[in-house]
Amino acid sequence: MARAKRTGRADARRRYRASFADPLEEGDLASEEEVTSAGTTSVVGGLPVGPAVARSGLTSSQPAASTPSARPSITAAFRSSFRPLDLRGDLQALPQILRHWSFFVPVILSGLAVALVPLLGLNAMTSAFFQYFSFTAPLGSSFLAGFFAPRASYLVGILAALASVGFQFLAYSSGPFGGLFADFKDAAGVTMTEAAAKELVLTQALTVGVPSAALFAAAAAWYKRFLNRASPNRSRPRPGTTTGRRPDGKVAKKVEKRPMLARRR
């Protein structure tokens, strides 16, 4: 008695290649057309039925395998990366965020950048490190805080910038800061005194550095979400993860190990 051809293998090949975003080959399309155009009949419940009914009976009893979602476009990833401000939720989660390493690492780097200038003197390395992680706008600390913070990246950036201001205040109060303010000049080109230069730097760090740190940290968090959404590997299954389903949609049976001393029946 004739049986209907099973389309499980063709469907499995199509789903497998769709997971890697590869187009179907002509051979697969031809084989699927042959299966769909086959005029074989089968017997269901004692009655001969056509191939369409047989295929529907076979596929309805098998659970459909979940296919990976398609990668969104650049525009969709750009729009979906923005999040509304949830100030109450961010403040409630702030105690947990402060225990995260994304807050400790920028603060430690800011303190290290301030401490290296009077310890090692002002050179190319200490000057660049101090300007990136402290001074009037700690952009390096803000980027690290915002990019790796679990949430409320702007708050983490603000707190990291305030910590940088506190480190500078302590260092400036202890004496000369490695000769940084020896030839410090204002916007008009006039040489300023050391006390006036320190006051100007602290004022700019509070009025300009803290707001810019919040914006830069929020931009870094948005950039991280954009990269995650626009990544081509986001829709692919991770290696080593199994769902327990075979390519044809059936659930694989678990192999039960028999004890060594068990008797065979």
The domains of the chain are located at 8-61, 74-230
Which pLDDT score is estimated for 164? 95
Of residues 1, 103, 101, the one with CA closest to residue 46? 1
Pair 251, 244: CB distance under 8 Å = yes
In the 8-state DSSP scheme, what is residue 206?
I
Which pLDDT score is estimated for 179? 77
Which pLDDT score is estimated for 112? 95
DSSP lists the bridge partners of residue 48 as 43
CA dist., res. 65 & res. 33, Å (int) = 21
CA dist., res. 164 & res. 153, Å (int) = 17
Report the SS3 class of residue 179.
coil
Which positions ≥6 away from 253 have C-beta within 8 Å?
none
Q: What is the pLDDT of residues 78-129, one digit of tens each?
A: 777 788 888 888 899 889 988 999 999 999 999 999 999 988 888 889 999 9
* Relative orientation angle of helices 153-173 and 139-148, to the nearest 10 degrees: 150
Pair 57, 7: CB distance under 8 Å = no
Which pLDDT score is estimated for 210? 94
- pLDDT < 70: residue spans in the chain: 1-7, 16-72, 232-265
CA dist., res. 3 & res. 41, Å (int) = 6
Which pLDDT score is estimated for 202? 93
CA dist., res. 80 & res. 78, Å (int) = 6
CA dist., res. 232 & res. 130, Å (int) = 37
Pair 4, 40: CB distance under 8 Å = yes
Report the SS3 class of residue 193.
coil
| Global confidence as pTM | 0.59
